[in-house]
Amino acid sequence: MLDTVTRAAVLSLAEELATDDAFRAALADLIAFPTDARDPNAPLQSYLNHVAQGFSAMGFTPEGFRVEGHHFLLLSRIEDDSRPTILGYAHGDTVPGMAGLWADGRDPWALSVDDAQGRWYGRGIADNKGQMLVNMTAMQAVIATRGSLGFNAHVLIEMGEEIGSPGLAALCETLKPRLKADILIASDGPRIDAATPTLFLGARGGATFRLSLRRRTGGRHSGNFGGALRNPALELAHALSTITTATGALQVKGWLPDAIPDAARTALAGLTPAGGEVDPDWGAPGLTPAERIHAWNSAEVLAFSAGDIAHPVNAIPDIAEAVVQLRYVTGIADDDLAAALRAHLDAHGHGDVTITEQGARFRASATPADHPAVAFVANALALSHGRAPVVLPSLGGSLPNDIFTEILGLPTIWVPHSYPGCSQHAPNEHLPATLLPEATRLMAGLYWDLGTASKSALGIS
């Protein structure tokens, strides 16, 4: 009975903390740092110094690192070596603020509360500053109620996730003995929808390729040469059309997994992904939209260029280019993705197309849906919410999850505190005002239960 009353107390305190003026002020302070990862003058280290102060007040020991020119902060609270150790993760960098494009003249680097809409706006509120503050506040509630977390905790914060997490793998290799943990529990990405507690167990990989076809230098008059001269735009369009079927089903051998694991199918049964904004007849046949996003591979044309679309002239273009992105789950040989695309285009008569991989690549990784820790976390969230969470085998997007699974050897469970319509990489990034205290309550219950859990309950030998 005492445990039940105390657990209820920590949930109540967490919700209270997440609705008071201090929480709003703390969130405003985080958003006020213009931490655009692409801006060389962004105050990335200043942001980490600010965060370190908050965690230090909770009994965490901060230590800063700079790897390959990028900023990191490790925060540690070790209570008892016999207890489980939980690794948390967050990133303080953001995409550009996009000032001037936000509705109602909002400043992206200032917290804006719209009571009429029930929304809080600001760059990073969803991705990922607000999510970090939720978890931090939940830990604060547990420490205030119990006097301790009841487990050991590390929190690793990076400032380059939006540009591919440079230096994170090298840092984790270097700190591997110190980051010895039993499980990663972190928060990023969206829930399945705003009202439904969600957890996901990994992330699809992401690889991006630029396809180029140049036939000559300079355009040629479309009347004088039309019908007798190769048009690279048409040729590249035909090459792109071989990558998927006319209804978006991936066709590149070597880019396709063999099957969806039974545990993943069971977890995804009956789910409607992406807030319901899907075309049910698009993508791999025989799969549900949820399976296509969270358990299968997809290829998308992100950009296509030939000539000047804004000012077309009567000329056959000399060059055409496209950017193609593959999102992929575990189970394919991702060291050979470019070679697989090369072989595919060659086999379809498009050997003249040049392929160049560009940008950072995230590798696919995921924890099995039947891992004991998954059931533990799901049960904790259900107990706090009153509704069982949705369990996704993999986030549709990409995260540096593979660094934690492969380098640190950890099972990974992500509990997101955002939703599909949050506009996190666009103007008007926001969260519903009701989501923040609810998420803080859920995390406080989870951290409370971790504080009494045995290692065997988490699948730790």
Provide the CATH number for the domain around residue 241.
Answer: 3.30.70.360
Question: Bridge partners of 200?
Answer: 392, 414
Tens-place pLDDT, residues 228-249: 999 999 999 999 999 999 999 9
Domain span holding position 262: 205-266+279-361
Q: What pLDDT is attached to residue 42?
A: 98
In this prediction, residue 429 carries a pLDDT of: 98
Token pair 């507690």 is at which residue? 197
Among the listed residues 293, 323, 338, 87, the one whose alpha carbon sits nearest the alpha carbon of residue 203: 293
Do 334 and 295 sit in the same domain of this protein?
Answer: yes
- pLDDT tens, position by position, 317-344: 999 999 999 999 998 989 899 999 999 9
50: CATH: 3.40.630.10
- pLDDT of 257 reads 93
Give the pLDDT score at 120.
Answer: 98
What percent of the chain lies above the pLDDT cut of 70? 99
Task: Give the mean model confidence (pLDDT) for residues 422-449.
Answer: 97
**Same structural domain for residues 305 and 423?**
no
pLDDT tens digits along 69-86: 999 999 999 999 999 999
Q: What is the mean pLDDT of residues 36-56?
A: 98
In a domain? residue 273: no
Q: Are residues 40 and 129 in the same domain?
A: yes
Mean pLDDT of all residues in 106-117: 97
Residues 156 and 66 in one domain: yes
Domain termination residue (choose one: 318, 334, 361): 361
Same domain for 446 and 377, yes or no, is yes
| pTM higher than 0.85 | yes
For residue 274, pLDDT over 70 is answered with no
pLDDT value for 1: 39
How many degrees, rounded to 5, is the angle at CA 276 between CA 270 and CA 281? 80
Same-domain status, 73 and 93 = yes
284, 408: one domain: no
> Are 286 and 180 within one domain?
no
Q: How many structural domains comprise the chain?
A: 2
At 359, is the pLDDT very low, low, confident or very high (cuts 50, 70, 90)? confident
Q: How confident is the model at residue 2 (pLDDT cuts 50, 70, 90)?
A: very low
Q: Is the separation of the CB atoms in 446 and 381 below 8 Å?
A: yes
Residue 398: pLDDT above 90? no
pLDDT at 60: 98
pLDDT of residue 185: 98
Is residue 38, in this structure, part of any structural domain at all? yes
Domain C-terminal end among 298, 333, 361: 361
pLDDT at 117 over 70: yes
Among 361, 395, 420, the domain-final residue is: 361
